[in-house]
Structure 1
């Protein structure tokens, strides 16, 4: 058995979910995602036992394209994040009355299929196909099931689509240029091309545009907050928890290996943009009054630090980027789910309309505090491991980078604790706030266990990562 079974399960599951009808769609989708998670765990066990679970077969001869799925520590970790979060994200939809739920949940599984393919593809052309395929379902999820009026929502989602699609075209041009030199899209063949320093710089910049928009990195971020805010909760969790990780993964898998001698001035400029993004997003988050937008800018600040660590070109930076990608994915999904629970009870995201939730809901408040601490990198949580490693990698480039990058922790602690004080503590709201039901508790409990367990014992992740970085 190899990793193709994970992809086939998600694709077939998407089709079955679509034809299952409105009543059974969620059950079929959750079951399919759990099977995919089980297959992921099985493939990881096989991989660690020395069995090759990759897959490769030629698709076309002219042009020379291979369906090549590379299974190593890095790709398997990202597939694990996808298949771990997908069933939990689907479970957050329990009890919600969606229009045409069979179409929504089928799109979620198809998006998981496309993102998994992006993490596994070793042929640049197939990778690009999966990359673009992931954009289609989230476009419709956000457009058809999002919030606000149709015109406002459409403007935000179309802007997101145009930004990301346009950036990807530069990446495609880079792949076509490399293909002309090697006659292949396979990563090992592309990595052997002898490129001049100028060629590497242009290739680096072409990839950077695609990844900077996807993450996003300043100043390519203007689509993010509006898209997160207008998307339904299930779409926001997919975007923040998994999809933006495609950008960081691709930096490590494609951009840096193909441009090892990029102009140092370009690399320093990129690092500066990442640092600016961290500070910029943090300052905006300090003034945000909308919970969803606050988390969107908080996510941008954290991802800026992840990207900065990756672009240090150091072993610690790349390892820290992967660990923090996983931690951020879990924590941000939990936080957006908590915010959605608040909206479900009070029908508002505005902090000024909240307060006193602790008096009504002890379990909810406890989970909120756990994930708040994880978000600001408290020792003992998963995020601390990644952030510490990233800041250490930045210090190897220059202490000023580490100091400025570390500002995300200071700013984050302030605006997250201030938000917690105003929204959860404070004077008691006259409206009652029902505590967590069984499904809500289950989702948050599983996420909390992951955050605490890997915060205390990250060895399973670092051991698996050893096989690729």
Structure 2
């Protein structure tokens, strides 16, 4: 019931939003729908946290061996909570932002939420693919209609990249489907036994699709431009939530289904990810546009999670799951500040800013706390996830290059501190100029959104145990299905 409601509430609300012509009414309706979705997610974590409430199964396409099967495991609960938190935070923080044909904008946003929920909940491969595509379509319309001056070519590139990856993945899913006795059920996918040669080409079909979505080097080139040209509300969802689709794909559909090739090619994938970490961090250090800097920062963070997944270590995988949530919260916080700065000063270029902390001290405090979480300062949520991930990489028995990967990825963390602290210094400190002399501090809606984010940062930084408990069982399941030695026996 909970799993079904998490999809139906934003789906039906999104369709209804298209018929609400007044922008303010559509905005209020979208916020109400997002809050209801959040309430449903919290019920699934607390009062109704029982197996019979957390799953739903119905006949869908029996002749194809596919069913409408959705369910909440620990990873799904965490990602659905992130999704249900992200949308009300985005709507709240951008409450004063006006959009042409605003009712359509909010309708597409809610449909995107429904698609994301479906991806995180699907336990049927064809249903997973259906929602994977459904989540892409609203973002295409949002970015192409409400984006910046270069939105059309940039959105076209984004669509071509992601659609090409989706088609490749579909071919791989169909191959496994026939090998699994014409069944798309997740348990049948996990039970199928493929040869090493079969797993190798299937690995790259799956991995390329997921790597594009995350994205990691060299499949990342669509991301900085898309983040820059998209309306900031869409950028928040793209970077905070949508990139987690690729990480979930690795954990739920690649490692357990293709364990031999994941073991064989994991170091190659990790090498691509660590190259992306260093490359993106160095490029971020040269950026003047805050949006592009944060975009490259996201590539570095996702690269670390990708390396940890292929380490196949329990502590590391738990770190990935908690960091998927934490990264989403932290980067949405950064985007909210960027949205406020852009709306107030008409620019995102750090060279044109400076001294904002003198005029808007509350904004500066929020930004510093969120930025510290982004670079994994102790007592923030980012520290917990990254500590567990590095522990998993270093102690992995799957990779031969654990120490080298740890050192190189750690270099990315140092570079991350350099460009993040540089962004704080250039934007908020120094002398005020003509542009920032009349800076104002936060309005109530902006303060409320950022207060919620900072509260999550501090609480999870001090006491992450509930999240670790939530992910314990699903981590064991993933590693059991990905155990190459047991399969060879």
Q: Same-fold call, TM > 0.5?
A: yes
Counterpart contact for 1:309–1:394, Cα < 8 Å: yes
Q: 1:222-264, CA deviations, whole angstroms, 9 ceiling, x for partnerless residues?
A: 1000000000001100100100011101111111110111164
Matching residue within 174, 179, 199 for 1:176: 174
Distance, in Å, in 2 between the alignment partners of 1:462 and 1:138 is 32
Secondary structure in 2 aligned to 1:349?
Answer: coil
Q: 1:74-121, CA deviations, whole angstroms, 9 ceiling, x for partnerless residues?
A: 111111100011111111221112101100011110000000000000
Distance, in Å, in 1 between the alignment partners of 2:417 and 2:184 is 44
Distance, in Å, in 2 between the alignment partners of 1:96 and 1:48 is 37
For residue 102 of structure 1, what is the aligned residue in structure 2?
103
For residue 455 of structure 1, what is the aligned residue in structure 2?
461
For residue 74 of structure 1, what is the aligned residue in structure 2?
75
Gaps of 5+ in 1: none
Counterpart contact for 2:38–2:85, Cα < 8 Å: yes
Distance, in Å, in 1 between the alignment partners of 2:48 and 2:226 is 38
For residue 164 of structure 1, what is the aligned residue in structure 2?
162
Distance, in Å, in 2 between the alignment partners of 1:132 and 1:224 is 18
**1:49 positional shift:** 4.7
Counterpart contact for 1:16–1:28, Cα < 8 Å: no
Secondary structure in 1 aligned to 2:59?
Answer: strand
Distance, in Å, in 2 between the alignment partners of 1:207 and 1:94 is 38
Bigger CA drift: 45-54 or 178-187?
A: 45-54
Bigger CA drift: 41-50 or 231-240?
A: 41-50
Matching residue within 442, 445, 450 for 1:439: 445
The root-mean-square deviation of aligned C-alpha atoms, in Å, is 1.2
For residue 372 of structure 2, what is the aligned residue in structure 1?
373
For residue 331 of structure 2, what is the aligned residue in structure 1?
332
Q: 1:330-386, CA deviations, whole angstroms, 9 ceiling, x for partnerless residues?
A: 000110110111111110011110001011001000001001100100000111011
Distance, in Å, in 2 between the alignment partners of 1:193 and 1:348 is 54
Secondary structure in 2 aligned to 1:69?
Answer: strand
Q: 1:277-307, CA deviations, whole angstroms, 9 ceiling, x for partnerless residues?
A: 0000000001111110000001111111011
For residue 227 of structure 1, what is the aligned residue in structure 2?
226
**1:192 positional shift:** 0.7
For residue 128 of structure 2, what is the aligned residue in structure 1?
127
Q: 1:17-56, CA deviations, whole angstroms, 9 ceiling, x for partnerless residues?
A: 2212223000000000100110111122255455442011
Distance, in Å, in 2 between the alignment partners of 1:326 and 1:408 is 20
Secondary structure in 1 aligned to 2:54?
Answer: coil
Bigger CA drift: 90-99 or 326-335?
A: 90-99
**1:5 positional shift:** 1.4
For residue 417 of structure 1, what is the aligned residue in structure 2?
421
Counterpart contact for 2:274–2:303, Cα < 8 Å: yes
Counterpart contact for 2:56–2:70, Cα < 8 Å: yes
Secondary structure in 1 aligned to 2:63?
Answer: coil
For residue 318 of structure 1, what is the aligned residue in structure 2?
317
Distance, in Å, in 1 between the alignment partners of 2:263 and 2:58 is 38
Structure 1: which 4+ aligned runs deviate by more than 4 Å?
Answer: 49-52
Distance, in Å, in 2 between the alignment partners of 1:139 and 1:463 is 37
Distance, in Å, in 2 between the alignment partners of 1:81 and 1:263 is 27
**1:318 positional shift:** 1.4
Aligned: 1:274 with 2:273: yes
Counterpart contact for 1:197–1:263, Cα < 8 Å: no
For residue 484 of structure 2, what is the aligned residue in structure 1?
none
Distance, in Å, in 2 between the alignment partners of 1:357 and 1:41 is 37
Matching residue within 131, 153, 156 for 1:155: 153
For residue 15 of structure 2, what is the aligned residue in structure 1?
15
Gaps of 5+ in 2: 476-489
Distance, in Å, in 1 between the alignment partners of 2:356 and 2:370 is 16
Counterpart contact for 2:2–2:41, Cα < 8 Å: no
**1:267 positional shift:** 1.4
Secondary structure in 1 aligned to 2:335?
Answer: helix
Counterpart contact for 1:312–1:394, Cα < 8 Å: yes
Distance, in Å, in 1 between the alignment partners of 2:262 and 2:357 is 53
Residues 321 and 328 of structure 1: is their aligned pair in 2 closer, same or farther, counting only changes over 3 Å?
A: same
Matching residue within 407, 425, 434 for 1:403: 407
Secondary structure in 1 aligned to 2:259?
Answer: coil
Counterpart contact for 1:314–1:393, Cα < 8 Å: yes
Distance, in Å, in 2 between the alignment partners of 1:100 and 1:181 is 47
**1:265 positional shift:** 4.4
